[in-house]
Amino acid sequence: MIEASVCTIGDEILIGQVVDTNSAHIARALGETGIRVRRMLSIGDQREQIRDSLLNELRMSDVVITTGGLGPTKDDITKAVLAEISGSKTYVENAEQLAIVYRILHGRGLEVLPNNKAQALVPDRCEVIPNPLGTAPVMVFRFTEQEVGHPAALYALPGVPYEAVGILPKVMDDIRTHFELSDIHHRNLMVYGLAESALSELIAPWEDALPKDIHLAYLPNPLTGIRLRLSIYGGRKEEELQRIEEQITRLKAILGNRIYSYQDDSLEETLGRMLKAAGKTLSAAESCTGGEISHLITSVAGSSAYYLGSVTSYAISVKETVLGVPPEIIEQYGVVSSEVAAAMAEGVRRLTGSDYSVATTGLAGPGGDEKNPVGTVWIAVSGPEGTRTVSKCYKNDRKRNIERFAAAALDFLRLYLIETKML
Amino acid sequence: MIEASVCTIGDEILIGQVVDTNSAHIARALGETGIRVRRMLSIGDQREQIRDSLLNELRMSDVVITTGGLGPTKDDITKAVLAEISGSKTYVENAEQLAIVYRILHGRGLEVLPNNKAQALVPDRCEVIPNPLGTAPVMVFRFTEQEVGHPAALYALPGVPYEAVGILPKVMDDIRTHFELSDIHHRNLMVYGLAESALSELIAPWEDALPKDIHLAYLPNPLTGIRLRLSIYGGRKEEELQRIEEQITRLKAILGNRIYSYQDDSLEETLGRMLKAAGKTLSAAESCTGGEISHLITSVAGSSAYYLGSVTSYAISVKETVLGVPPEIIEQYGVVSSEVAAAMAEGVRRLTGSDYSVATTGLAGPGGDEKNPVGTVWIAVSGPEGTRTVSKCYKNDRKRNIERFAAAALDFLRLYLIETKML
- The per-residue pLDDT for range B268-303, each reduced to its tens digit, is 999 999 999 999 999 999 999 999 999 999 999 999
Contact assessment for residue B306 and residue B284, using Cβ atoms and an 8 Å cutoff: no
Interface mutation vs chain B, best among A61, A294, A394, most B CBs within 10 Å = A294
Cβ pair B309:A311 closer than 8 A: yes
Report the residue of chain B nearest A46, measured CA to CA.
B38
Nearest CA distance, B69 vs chain A (angstrom)? 15
Cβ pair A53:B43 closer than 8 A: no
Summarize the confidence of residues A25-43 as an average pLDDT. 93
CATH architecture of the domain B184-261 equals 2-Layer Sandwich (3.30)
How many beta-carbon pairs below 8 A join chains A and B? 230
CA nearest to A205, candidates A169, A166, A247, A164: A247
Contact assessment for residue A375 and residue A308, using Cβ atoms and an 8 Å cutoff: no
- The per-residue pLDDT for range B35-87, each reduced to its tens digit, is 999 999 999 989 999 999 999 999 999 999 999 988 776 677 899 999 999 99
Report the residue of chain A nearest B46, measured CA to CA.
A38
Summarize the confidence of residues B364-384 as an average pLDDT. 91
Nearest CA distance, A89 vs chain B (angstrom)? 30
- The per-residue pLDDT for range A398-410, each reduced to its tens digit, is 988 999 999 999 9
Distance (Å, whole) CA B328 – CA A342: 35
Nearest CA distance, A388 vs chain B (angstrom)? 23
pLDDT of res. B297: 98
Report the residue of chain A nearest B5, measured CA to CA.
A14
Bridge-based pairing of strands A91-93 and A36-43 is: unpaired
Nearest CA distance, B206 vs chain A (angstrom)? 24
Cβ pair A298:B314 closer than 8 A: yes
CA nearest to A409, candidates A254, A291, A273, A255: A291
Q: Which 3 state secondary structure label does DSSP give B323?
A: coil
pLDDT of res. B312: 98
Cβ pair A39:B14 closer than 8 A: yes
Cβ pair A295:B297 closer than 8 A: no
Distance (Å, whole) CA B94 – CA B261: 42
Summarize the confidence of residues B238-251 as an average pLDDT. 95
A-chain CB neighbours of B398 within 8 Å are: 299, 301
Domain with CATH 3.30.70.2860 in chain A: 184-261
Q: Which 3 state secondary structure label does DSSP give B215?
A: strand
Tell me: pLDDT of A107 over 80.
no
Report the residue of chain B nearest A28, measured CA to CA.
B16
Distance (Å, whole) CA B322 – CA B309: 13
Residue B209 banded pLDDT, cuts 50, 70, 90: very high
Contact assessment for residue B366 and residue B321, using Cβ atoms and an 8 Å cutoff: no
Share of chain B above pLDDT 90, in %: 74
Cross-chain CB nearest to A314 (options B15, B296, B308): B308
* CB neighbours of residue A149 within 10 Å: 12
Cβ pair B41:A37 closer than 8 A: no
Tell me: pLDDT of A120 over 80.
yes
Distance (Å, whole) CA B116 – CA B113: 5
Report the residue of chain B nearest A18, measured CA to CA.
B24
3-class secondary structure for B252-271? Answer: HHHHHHHEEECCCCCHHHHH
Distance (Å, whole) CA A27 – CA A24: 5
Nearest CA distance, A274 vs chain B (angstrom)? 19
A-chain CB neighbours of B294 within 8 Å are: 286, 290-291, 294-295, 312
Tell me: pLDDT of A268 over 80.
yes
Cross-chain CB nearest to A14 (options B27, B53, B402): B27
pTM of the complete model: 0.82
Task: Provide CB contacts within 8 A for A52, sequence distance 6+.
Answer: none
Nearest CA distance, A21 vs chain B (angstrom)? 6
CA nearest to A191, candidates A171, A221, A149: A221
Nearest CA distance, B275 vs chain A (angstrom)? 15
Which ranges in B61-186 belong to alpha helices (H)? 78-85, 95-107, 114-117, 145-148, 161-178
Cβ pair A16:B39 closer than 8 A: no
B-chain CB neighbours of A303 within 8 Å are: 290, 314
Tell me: pLDDT of A92 over 80.
yes
Cβ pair B27:A43 closer than 8 A: no
B-chain CB neighbours of A25 within 8 Å are: 16
Cβ pair B317:A298 closer than 8 A: no
Tell me: pLDDT of B376 over 80.
yes
The whole-chain average pLDDT of chain B stands at 93
Distance (Å, whole) CA A410 – CA A190: 14
Domain with CATH 3.40.980.10 in chain A: 3-178
CA nearest to A282, candidates A208, A348, A215: A348
Q: Which 3 state secondary structure label does DSSP give A69?
A: coil
- The residue count of chain B comes to 423
A-chain CB neighbours of B366 within 8 Å are: 301
Task: Provide CB contacts within 8 A for B96, sequence distance 6+.
Answer: B128, B130, B137
Where b means 16+ CB within 10 Å and e means fewer, B33-47 reads: bbbbbbbbbbbbbbe
Nearest CA distance, A305 vs chain B (angstrom)? 9
**Range B267-419 has CATH code 3.90.950.20:** yes
Task: Provide CB contacts within 8 A for B65, sequence distance 6+.
Answer: B4, B5, B6, B7, B26, B30, B154, B155, B157, B171
Where b means 16+ CB within 10 Å and e means fewer, B149-187 reads: eeebbbbbbbbbeebbbbbbeebbebbeeebebeebbbb
Interface mutation vs chain B, best among A22, A33, A40, A348, most B CBs within 10 Å = A40
Between residues B107 and A318, the one the model is more confident about = A318
The complex's ipTM? 0.81
Cβ pair B16:A37 closer than 8 A: yes
Summarize the confidence of residues B132-139 as an average pLDDT. 93
Contact assessment for residue B106 and residue B114, using Cβ atoms and an 8 Å cutoff: no
Domain with CATH 3.90.950.20 in chain B: 267-419
Distance (Å, whole) CA A354 – CA A296: 18
pLDDT of res. B423: 59
A-chain CB neighbours of B162 within 8 Å are: 397
Nearest CA distance, A204 vs chain B (angstrom)? 19
Report the residue of chain B nearest A322, measured CA to CA.
B351
Distance (Å, whole) CA A249 – CA B269: 50
Distance (Å, whole) CA A229 – CA A212: 15
pLDDT of res. B195: 77
- The per-residue pLDDT for range B384-407, each reduced to its tens digit, is 999 999 999 887 789 889 999 999
Amino acid letter for position B17? Q
- CATH tag, A3-178: 3.40.980.10
What phi, psi does A374 have (nearest 5°)?
Answer: -50, 135
Interface mutation vs chain A, best among B264, B295, B356, most A CBs within 10 Å = B295
pLDDT of res. A423: 59
Report the residue of chain B nearest A302, measured CA to CA.
B366
Nearest CA distance, A265 vs chain B (angstrom)? 16
A-chain CB neighbours of B39 within 8 Å are: 14, 41-44, 49, 53
CA nearest to A175, candidates A408, A4, A387: A4
Report the residue of chain A nearest B107, measured CA to CA.
A395
Cross-chain CB nearest to B39 (options A27, A43, A321): A43
- The per-residue pLDDT for range B307-339, each reduced to its tens digit, is 999 999 999 999 999 999 999 999 999 999 999
Cross-chain CB nearest to B312 (options A16, A28, A310): A310
Q: How far is CA A142 from CA A82, A88, A125, A153, A154, in A?
A: 11, 12, 8, 4, 6
Residue A24: exposure state from Cβ atoms within 10 A (0-12, 13-18, ≥19):
buried
For residue A380, what are the β-bridge partners? A359, A389
- The per-residue pLDDT for range B156-200, each reduced to its tens digit, is 999 988 899 999 999 999 999 999 888 788 898 999 988 777 888
Q: How far is CA A206 from CA A198, A230, B291, in A?
A: 14, 13, 42
Cβ pair B312:A312 closer than 8 A: yes
Q: How far is CA A324 from CA A168, A351, A391, B102, in A?
A: 51, 9, 22, 47
Share of chain A above pLDDT 90, in %: 74
Nearest CA distance, A288 vs chain B (angstrom)? 8
